[in-house]
Amino acid sequence: MSVYKIVTYPAPILRIKARIVQSISASQRVFLINMAETMYDNKVAVGLAAEQVSLDEKLVVIDVCDKNGLIKLINPRIKEKKGETILMEEGCMSMPGISVVVPRAEKVKVEAKDERGRAIILEADGFLARVIQHEIDHLNGKLIIDYLSPAKKLLVESKYRVKKTFNKIGKGAK
Ligand SMILES: [Zn+2]
């Protein structure tokens, strides 16, 4: 098992739409195990999408420490959103240092495939529903900053760009 490096904003892979997995191979099953390892390695992480570890495929792992345990989803898609829209602050491993208030549906019904390629339907509410929506956003190239007002988003984006440039200069000077 291995722990992958987390890709952080503004890496281009975070902005692309992940590809649909046609058939699940042994290497993809190993990839899912390593994704889970990577998620557990980060003490506060409750979910991870493949794009966050440099693979543009529709693979997600989630564990919100409830009765469901570790959930692995292949090609997850929201079929239905129900309940109220709930506002809550979210962070993201790919955007360290910021949190954004994100509106999410209270309940979701999700269509996906499991590791063996069988079609599954997952109904979730509360925190799990929120995490599922966050990870599916990743698969569509969407990030928490997209929920900010345009002005705030520009400000946050520029901060990340400055940080990236600074890191580059820092490395070059060594
Ligand atoms: Zn995230």
Rounded distance from Cα 174 to ligand 1 centre (Å): 31
The DSSP call for residue 7 is P
pLDDT in tens, 43-64: 889 999 999 999 999 999 999 9
Mean pLDDT of the region 88-106 = 96
Please give the distance, rounded to the nearest whole angstrom, from the Cα atom of residue 94 to the centre of ligand 1. Answer: 6
pTM of the model: 0.93
Domains and CATH numbers, the chain: 12-148 (3.90.45.10)
Q: How far is the CA of 127 from the centre of ligand 1 (A)?
A: 14
The answer to whether the Cα torsion of 142, 43, 86, 120 is positive or negative is: positive
CB atoms closer than 10 angstroms to residue 95: 19
Could you tell me which residues come within 8 angstroms of residue 98 by beta carbon, excluding any fewer than 6 positions away?
91, 144, 145, 156
Asked whether the predicted pLDDT for residue 91 surpasses 60, the reply is yes
How far the first Cα of the chain sits from its last, in Å, is: 33
Is the pLDDT at 136 greater than 80? The verdict is: yes
Q: Is 51 in the active site?
A: no
Residue 171 has pLDDT above 70, yes or no: no
